[in-house]
Copies of this chain bind each other. A is one copy, B any other.
Amino acid sequence: MNILYIMFDQLRFDYLSCAGHKTLHTPHIDRLASQGVRFTNAYTQSPVCGAARMSAYTGRYVSSHGAAWNNYPLRVGEMTLGDHLRDAGMDCWLIGKTHMKADAKGMERLGLSPDSVIGARQADCGFDVWCRDDGLWAEGPDGPYDQKRSPYNEYLKSKGYAGGNPWADHANAGVENGEIASGWFMKNADKAANVDEPDSETPWLTSQAIAFIEQAKSPWCAHVSYIKPHWPYIVPAPYHDMYDVDDIQPVIRSKREVVDPHPIYRAFTQGRVGKSFAQDHVREKVIPAYMGLIKQCDDQMGRLFDYLETTGRMNDTMIVLTSDHGDYLGDHWMGEKDLFHAPSVKVPLIVHDPRSSADATRGTTCEALVEAIDVTATFIEAAGGDVPDHIVEGRSLQPYLTGTPHPNPRNFAISEYDYSSHPVGTALNVPPKEARLFMVATQDWKLVHCEGGFRPMLFDLKNDPNELFDLGGDPDYEDTRAMLYDHLHTWARRPAQRVTISDAEIHAKRKIGARTGVLLGVYDEDEIAPDLRARYRGPSPKRPN
């Protein structure tokens, strides 16, 4: 069996027709859902690209791997999906985005050269690279956001697209009176990107994926990782005008939310992004473009799935379709992600397992609490490996796919956010070590613990599914907060770094109790096994003269 690990970037869990979106039809992704299981309570380990992805690729919590925000390097030696799959005899390839920043200092300390096989895998998050393109090719006075080469920009140039950065001036810009109408300005979100649709980012990456699969030797794992529907919010024709204001779903927010709000939530709403998305004209420009980007993604899924079906790969490939986090789009007076309301912290998660063992669950949904790192564990098991649960903190989703009771279901989900280098950290002047948030969610409740002396946030998911009433300071809910803090602290005490010895090896130590001559608490030889006594006897050897 092969593994196709499809990840979109900033795709909301509820912007799919199979997830209930009223005006955005995604028949191809829905088709995958009809052939597999759609998880309705899937949480990202962090509502920000870099940290979420480092968790997805290591199967470990953000606090465990430490790469807590975008471009915080993943420490050298941290084991990844690629390491585990290769141990199980499966290659693990990257096609698209990882947002991985290499631990250059650590690699130098260990003498690892980036151009060695080992060094390259360390630098690319454990993947072998078919095509890496992190998808953000912006440039400013301080230089490019991303120093690497962009295969996508090279593709556009090879096709004859003009200018030094066709990603910026074609794929992510429209045209107005012959002038560049940059996609960085949201007022341009309703314009058609100045690129032929087949040459835009999503079809290009899909072609890369198909080219990879065409030549891949089974068993393979391919991480097909799209930058879209991530901003800049602009999409080529015909997707740019498929949706209009009437297609926008009602905004999820209440004026009450911003009356005497939690100081950290307030700081996010008062930043430029929050203020901008609080305005209806911004949402009315951006959301139709965002929907168009998703529609294009869905059409490309149709193309990819058709290819898999015609080649027979649909029958021997496990397909996971998910996202690294969501997008507020103005809900809760927020834009982007960063906090833990559902639009930001929940992710779409569809798992298609071609094996007959999964036939019973095809087309069903699963409401169990699951996390992004559970996908990692699922892949290791699907590849025939044993999940090394002293390293990988995810729990295989396999029981949910076969419709059998999960031996170790989650009674709470954890997500984390480190805002130590986010403008909010600066605005609130919170020291880097304290600029950290922890979410613990059950089916009924969501608590957000804030370091730095702030009160927690609390939402009643059953009676306030839209999370409009923060009960974090309400004395009536002290017991509920205590219950959720108990979950958080049980988790916080986990042995996440005891990664060099497995529980099985520990059990073996207990059973064997190696006899290596060390005697503890023994007064005389009568207390030890007769067959051992001879070792401690004999004529006393003479000392030298």
A residues neighboring B (CB under 8 Å): 63-68, 72-77, 79, 83, 103, 105-106, 109-112, 116, 118, 122, 136, 138-145, 159-163, 166, 168-170, 173, 175-176, 178-182, 184-187, 194-196, 231, 271-277, 279, 282, 285, 335-336, 418, 420-421, 423, 425-426, 431-433, 436, 438, 449, 451, 485, 489, 492-501, 503, 506-507, 509-510, 512-525, 527, 531-532, 535-545
Residues of the B chain whose Cβ atoms lie less than 8 Å from the Cβ of A535:
139-140
User: What's the nearest-Cβ distance from chain B to residue A436, in Å?
Assistant: 6
Residue pair B140, A516 in contact (C-beta under 8 Å): yes
Q: How far is the CA of A11 from the CA of B535 in the complex (A)?
A: 28
Q: Which of these, B140, B500, B516, contacts A515 with CB under 8 Å? A: B140
**Contacting pair B118 A541 (CB below 8 A):** no
Query: Contact check: which of B66, B418, B507, B523 meets A432 at CB < 8 Å?
Result: B507
CB <8 Å contact, A506 and B420: yes
CB-defined contacts of A136 to chain B, threshold 8 Å: 518
Select which of B73, B110, B492 is within 8 A of A493 by beta carbon.
B492
| Closest B residue to A272 using CB positions | B521
Closest to A156 in B: B544
Taking a contact as CB atoms under 8 Å apart, the answer to whether A83 and B109 are in contact is yes
Shortest A308–chain B CB gap in Å is 31
Taking a contact as CB atoms under 8 Å apart, the answer to whether B63 and A161 are in contact is no
Take A161-B544, A509-B421 as given contacts and tell me if A521 and B277 are in contact as well, using a CB distance cutoff of 8 Å. yes
In the complex, which residue of chain B has the Cβ closest to the Cβ of A449? B493
Question: Quick check: B517 and A138 within 8 Å, CB to CB?
Answer: yes
Nearest Cβ distance between residue A280 and chain B, in whole angstroms? 12
Closest to A196 in B: B543
> 20 pairs across A/B with beta carbons < 8 Å?
A63-B497, A64-B497, A65-B497, A67-B500, A75-B77, A103-B500, A111-B116, A138-B517, A140-B518, A143-B516, A170-B543, A180-B538, A194-B541, A196-B543, A272-B522, A272-B527, A275-B521, A285-B523, A420-B506, A431-B503
- In the assembled complex, the Cα of A522 lies from the Cα of B84 at a distance in Å of 42
Which residue of chain B is the closest to A174 with respect to CB atoms? B540
Chain B residues, CB < 8 A from A436: 493, 495
The interface residues of chain B lying within 8 Å CB-to-CB of A175 are: 540
A531 to B282, CA, bound (A): 24
Query: A432 vs B537: C-alpha distance in the bound complex, in angstroms?
Result: 37
Residues in B neighbouring A494, C-beta threshold 8 A:
433
List chain B residues, Cβ under 8 A from A336: 520-521
Complex alpha-carbon distance, A518 and B244, angstroms: 26
CB-based contact A516/B145 at 8 Å: yes
Kindly provide the distance from the CB of A493 to the nearest chain B CB, expressed in whole angstroms. 5
Contact B138 A426 (CB under 8 A): no
Contact B140 A497, beta carbon cutoff 8 Å: no
Min CB distance, A92 to chain B, in Å? 14
Q: B68 to A185, Cβ gap below 8 A?
A: no
B418 contacts A541, CB within 8 Å? no
The smallest beta-carbon distance between A289 and chain B, in angstroms, is 13
A72 touches B532 (CB 8 A): no
Q: Look across to chain B and name the residue whose beta carbon is closest to the beta carbon of A431.
A: B503
Whether the pair A451, B536 counts as a contact (CB closer than 8 A) is no
Give the residues in chain B near A544, CB-CB below 8 Å.
Answer: 159-161
Cα–Cα, bound, A231→B520 (Å): 9
Inter-subunit contact B541/A493 (CB<8 Å): no
Given A136-B518, A180-B538, do A282 and B500 touch, yes or no (CB 8 Å)?
no
Pick from B141, B185, B431: contact of A525, CB below 8 A.
B185
User: B185 touching A519 by the CB < 8 A rule?
Assistant: yes
Chain B residues whose C-beta falls within 8 Å of the C-beta of A532 in the assembled complex:
140-141
Contact assessment for A540 and B276 in the assembled complex, using a CB-CB cutoff below 8 Å: no
What is the distance, in angstroms, from A161's C-beta to the closest C-beta of chain B?
Answer: 6
A68 to chain B, nearest CB (A): 5
